Amino acid sequence: MAKFILRRLLYSIPTVFGITIASFSLVHMAPGDPVQLLVFGAGGLDPDEIARLRSQLGLDQPILIQYLNWLSKLMRFDLGTSFFANQPVSLMVFQRMGNTLQLTIVSLTLSLLVGIPLGIVAALNAGSVWDHVSRLIAVLGSAIPQFWLGILCILVFSLWLRVLPAGSMYTLSTGGTDVIDRLKHLILPAVVLSTTSIAIFSRFIRAETLEVLHQDYIRTANAKGLSTKVVVTRHVAKNALIPIITLLGGSLERLFGGAVVIETIFSWPGMGRMGFDAAMQRDYPVLMGLIVISSILVVVGYLIADIAYAWVDPRIKHS
């Protein structure tokens, strides 16, 4: 097992490298230039001022040199400095990561708690009303755009019913120390954020469960005279849930990456919004920093998923 992990980690080094090369070139090839944006903001600049800004931002070097400079800094765990905020990227990430994790972890938990039972119930009662209700929820969850649902929720729960706050992480006057207040602020963004994943999880689990239900060992279990409850919990659910590990492995990156739309609508100071703004302004260091972190998380996420697979499913052996 240790050998497997080591090998996988070694394999992932070129992957991450490849991603940095590809994304560095893509980010720099995208039309738009942060210096031109500064020129526009300043109301025009002399050419020698522009040249100075370029060299201060390191943009006067050939792209290959720029990449190598960036890479050598990365090796020393230095993600560089934001062009526009003039702050270390690592600090900017650190300031927002906790906020994003609060939101995404709660929303992922919610998606699992709702999505899994919904999928299993739908599969066990395929074709019944329950199945249709579950399908309806899944269709709504994936069809309704989150920005719209978010605004609707603010309208209904904050403006009309006045039961929940219209965004941000806590009431400013509480200073963020009141747990109940924080939970109230979490409800709307977490629920809205989980709608899509509830839809995905429930459909996924339904399909898996249906497949397991047709397996020989389920027939055997039923034939042995085991109660439905035991068959479902011990044989069906256990096997149907294994593939969800893959889904979870892929979610690791999303946990940290945040959610642009939800963060924007609910004024949530997280990573998604920071990444979006950086992309809009071509803030290369911030953008590259986020890409590196995300790609490492994707690699690690799937590695953990593979290990977890071997652990829960004795049929799989890594060597």
Partner 1 sequence: MRILELRHRERVLSAATALLVSLLLLVPILAACQSRQPDVRQKGSEPVKGGTVVYGAAADAKSLNPILISDANSRTVSNLIFEGLVATDAKTGAPKPMLAESWSVSDEGLRYTFKIRDGVKWHDGTPVTSEDARFTYETILDPKTKTVRRSLYDQVKSFSTPDKNTLVVELKGSFCPFLITGMSMPIVPKHILEKSTDINTDDFNSNAPVGTGPFIFNEWVKDDHITLTANENYWGGPPNIDAFIYKVVKDVNVIAAQLKTGDLDAGEFTSQPQLVSEMKSTQELNVYDFPALEYTSLGYNMARPFLQDTRVRQALTMALDRDKMLSTILDKQGEPMLSHIPMTSWAYDPDLPRFPYDPSQAAQLLEKAGYKKSSDGLLRDKDGNQIKLTLYTSSGNKVREGVATVAREQFKEIGIDLTVQLEQFTALVDRMNKSKDFDMVVIGWSLGADPDSKSVWHSSQRGDGGLNVINYVNPEVDKLLDEGRTLPGCDQGSRKEIYSKFQKILAEDQPYNFLFAPRILYGVSSRLQGVNPSPWSGMFWNLNEWYSDTGK
Smallest separation, CB 313 to partner 1 (Å): 34
> Of 15 and 128, which CB lies nearer to partner 1 in the complex structure?
128
Rg (CA), the chain: 24
Q: Are 99 and 277 in contact (CB under 8 A)?
A: no
> Of 180 and 223, which CB lies nearer to partner 1 in the complex structure?
180
From CA 303, how far away is CA 308, in angstroms rounded? 9
Q: Tell me which amino acid residue 292 is.
A: V
Smallest separation, CB 281 to partner 1 (Å): 6
> Of 232 and 271, which CB lies nearer to partner 1 in the complex structure?
271
From CA 121, how far away is CA 209, in angstroms rounded? 9
> Of 56 and 72, which CB lies nearer to partner 1 in the complex structure?
56
Q: Are 293 and 256 in contact (CB under 8 A)?
A: yes
Which candidate, 98, 106, 101, 96, places its Cα nearest to that of 191?
106
> Of 207 and 307, which CB lies nearer to partner 1 in the complex structure?
207
Smallest separation, CB 172 to partner 1 (Å): 6
Smallest separation, CB 98 to partner 1 (Å): 11
Q: Which two tokens stand for residue 309?
A: 């697979």
Smallest separation, CB 158 to partner 1 (Å): 6
Compute the Cα dihedral for 85, 88, 89, 94 and give only its sign.
negative
- Site residues (CB under 8 A) for partner 1? 30-34, 36-47, 49-50, 52-53, 56, 81, 84-88, 92, 95-96, 99, 127, 132, 135-136, 139-140, 143-144, 148, 151-152, 154-155, 158-159, 162, 165-169, 172, 264-267, 269-270, 273-274, 277, 280-282
Which candidate, 277, 276, 140, 150, places its Cα nearest to that of 203?
140
